[in-house]
Structure 1
Amino acid sequence: MTLSAARLEELLRKIPQSRVFVLGDLMWDEYIRGDVTRISPEAPVPVLLGTSEDRTPGGAANVLKNLRDLKCKMGVLGTVGADENGVALQHELEKWGLGDGLQLIRLADRPTTIKTRFMARNQQLLRVDREKATAIDAATEEQLLKAFDQVIGAYQALIISDYDKGLLTPRVIAEVIARARKKKIFVAVDPQVKHFKQYVECDIMTPNEKEASEGVGLPFPQNDEDIINIAKQIRSTLKLPHLLVTRSQRGMAYFNDREVAFLPTVAREVFDVTGAGDTVITVYTAAICAGASHVEAMVLSNMAGGVVVGKLGTATVSAAELSAEIARPLPPLRIEAL
């Protein structure tokens, strides 16, 4: 298969026309930054002299943020706590131009999830999670599915962003996939190992190598043959037409019924992998909506992932950054029959 920069640029121009809905766990990503100059006299731990604090919507909202920065039409359905942090998260998302696409359910039985990272320059020292991650109850499932039915028909694709915070119960997973497929809506899943075998008949799943191997109970892959065997078992078990496995420094591998496509990563300095999976599934799905083949979508998402790991914190990629990547020499693509 021959890829051209002109074709990738054409797809990039069409991506803002993509209509993508996100279902998943919403939260705040909070950062406390500073410098470490001494060790505490109270315990053998560093003392962080705080210099700044900031926070940004995270979890499934980071997928949404990637869609926003690519100027896609977007919507989201998730839960927040009935607390000040939930109100603040709603107000922040309201600024993103979602309109009726913003569907939030407030839960009185849990706080809004917050992940707080303590950072000394570029080094994360500690993360503190404040959350209640038990499964939502049957009444909330009903409320969520009703809201889903009311809005999903306006979109081409559904991204399920699973952070294992209680929203995505077995019933919710099965129902939203079935209802989306009935409307011929493309379903992409960024999975959790805990729920791995519940995502039956989604259109594509995007695990990393660790998630892929653990999801089917096989050892971590050491070579291409290993990842091919893992992929065959995943696709057979979950009845997946497509599978994309992210492989860190080894790039990506895409699988369908006939072939596997291997794509190496673009060499660059890695600062932070936080949120890279969100960027990959976002760009992949938006590209499919824009008319890309699955291999073309892989190439664009590989470029996007390479950009965001070079940034600190939960980052996104812009169309301008993707265009700059397209202008560079394209990495070699290797396709093999299965």
Structure 2
Amino acid sequence: MKLNFNDCKILIVGDVMLDKYYFGKVERISPEAPVPIVNIVTEESRLGGASNVANNITSLGGQATLCGAIGHDFFGKEIERMAHRKGIKTDFVKTEQPTITKARVIGGRQQIVRIDYEQHLELPDKTREDFQTHLAELIQDSPTLVISDYGKGMISEKLCTFLIQTAKGHGTRVIVDPKGQNWKKYAGADLITPNVKELGDIIGHPVKNEDREIEEVALEIIHCYGLSALLVTRSEKGMSLISNQEILHIPTHSQEVFDVSGAGDTVVAALSLALTSGQEITNAIRIANVAAGVVVKKIGTATLSIEELNDNL
């Protein structure tokens, strides 16, 4: 049976970013400093952060509504333009801070440097309260809410707690892509999707990418924060679903990993669509695992189509 996500509505709230790529050739070293000179041949803009989750959802045929903050600048306008062209509905707060942008210079197939434009976001109380009122209306019409936290300030404890409590009141499923050490704000979420490094960040020490250690740490975190389940993404070792009811380890689908940028966004997008379409959790995870296996073979923050996903399934 072929997957079809056309009727799946997902609300995404999180740190909206723009990814810029400058592709070029390296043929000599600068006489000014021992650094490569990159002769830029092409440049490209892609939706990043929470925007990449939304982009993956629409690429897979789902209906995405993206909420976050952008600046009164060219990069913010570029995100709006790209999102609308890709069929993503947007609801943005405009701030005085710059639109979060990551510019990568790539020589041949090697990333030479990344340049970041960002300031930690702090919404004024009145702005946040007005935004929350609007988000509450959107949550009512959304069977699934994705909170895409990149630690840039949009997903504050106040906003995150409000989102999860409001979603629970409307029977809306909540999936969180987490960041940082404050996991109190995620309490009540249905599923949280950390990678192995993020597990270590929250527990306070590095975690080995081994089944037994992943299980022990994940169960400790679930108990500590009163969570339902964790889906731990484990790079070349696939992913692990861990809850008090079940533990499931799924090996990676991809035999070739070229670039893991944005793979977590793809996992969250495919997972949210599969669950919204009525798939059981274990099958939804297998679908997300296959989706991630496709995008890691591509350069940078990439997406896949529903046809690619069905072919690989």
Indicate the residue corresponding to 1:103 in structure 2: 91
Indicate the residue corresponding to 1:28 in structure 2: 18
Indicate the residue corresponding to 1:223 in structure 2: 210
Superposition deviation, residue 267 in structure 1: 4.0
Indicate the residue corresponding to 1:333 in structure 2: none
Do the aligned residues in 2 keep the contact of 1:270 with 1:309 (CA within 8 Å)? yes
Superposition deviation, residue 52 in structure 1: 1.0
Instruction: Indicate the SS of the match to 1:17.
Output: coil
| 1:169 equivalent among 127, 132, 156 | 156
| 1:67 equivalent among 35, 46, 57 | 57
Letter in 1 for 2:214: I
Number of equivalenced pairs: 313
| 1:157 equivalent among 132, 138, 144 | 144
Give me the whole-angstrom Cα distance separating, in 1, the residues matched to 2:63 and 2:99.
26
| 2:36 equivalent among 29, 43, 46 | 46
| 1:255 equivalent among 231, 242, 249 | 242
Do the aligned residues in 2 keep the contact of 1:218 with 1:230 (CA within 8 Å)? no
Superposition deviation, residue 258 in structure 1: 1.8
The percentage of aligned residue pairs carrying the same residue is: 35
Instruction: Indicate the SS of the match to 1:253.
Output: strand
Give me the whole-angstrom Cα distance separating, in 1, the residues matched to 2:77 and 2:249.
44
Letter in 2 for 1:212: L
| 1:179 equivalent among 159, 166, 182 | 166
Superposition deviation, residue 141 in structure 1: 1.4
Do the aligned residues in 2 keep the contact of 1:135 with 1:168 (CA within 8 Å)? no
- Is 1:81 the counterpart of 2:84? The answer is no
Superposition deviation, residue 296 in structure 1: 0.4
Do the aligned residues in 2 keep the contact of 1:22 with 1:158 (CA within 8 Å)? yes
Indicate the residue corresponding to 2:118 in structure 1: 131
Instruction: Indicate the SS of the match to 2:183.
Output: helix
TM (norm. structure 1) is: 0.89
Quickly say closer, same or farther: Cα 1:267–1:29, change in 2 above 3 A. Answer: closer
TM (norm. structure 2) is: 0.96
Give me the whole-angstrom Cα distance separating, in 2, the residues matched to 1:41 and 1:152.
56
Do the aligned residues in 1 keep the contact of 2:219 with 2:243 (CA within 8 Å)? no
Give me the whole-angstrom Cα distance separating, in 1, the residues matched to 2:304 and 2:235.
18
Indicate the residue corresponding to 1:331 in structure 2: none
CA deviations over 1:67-100 (Å, ceiling 9, x no partner): 11111122111111012222232222222334xx
Do the aligned residues in 2 keep the contact of 1:197 with 1:215 (CA within 8 Å)? no
Segments of 5+ residues of structure 2 without an aligned counterpart are none
Indicate the residue corresponding to 1:329 in structure 2: none
Superposition deviation, residue 222 in structure 1: 4.5
Do the aligned residues in 2 keep the contact of 1:20 with 1:155 (CA within 8 Å)? yes
Give me the whole-angstrom Cα distance separating, in 1, the residues matched to 2:301 and 2:142.
25
Give me the whole-angstrom Cα distance separating, in 2, the residues matched to 1:196 and 1:122.
37
Give me the whole-angstrom Cα distance separating, in 1, the residues matched to 2:306 and 2:197.
30
Give me the whole-angstrom Cα distance separating, in 1, the residues matched to 2:254 and 2:167.
37
| 1:274 equivalent among 261, 269, 293 | 261
Superposition RMSD on alpha carbons, in Å? 1.4
Do the aligned residues in 1 keep the contact of 2:196 with 2:209 (CA within 8 Å)? no
Segments of 5+ residues of structure 1 without an aligned counterpart are 1-5, 327-338
Instruction: Indicate the SS of the match to 1:86.
Output: helix
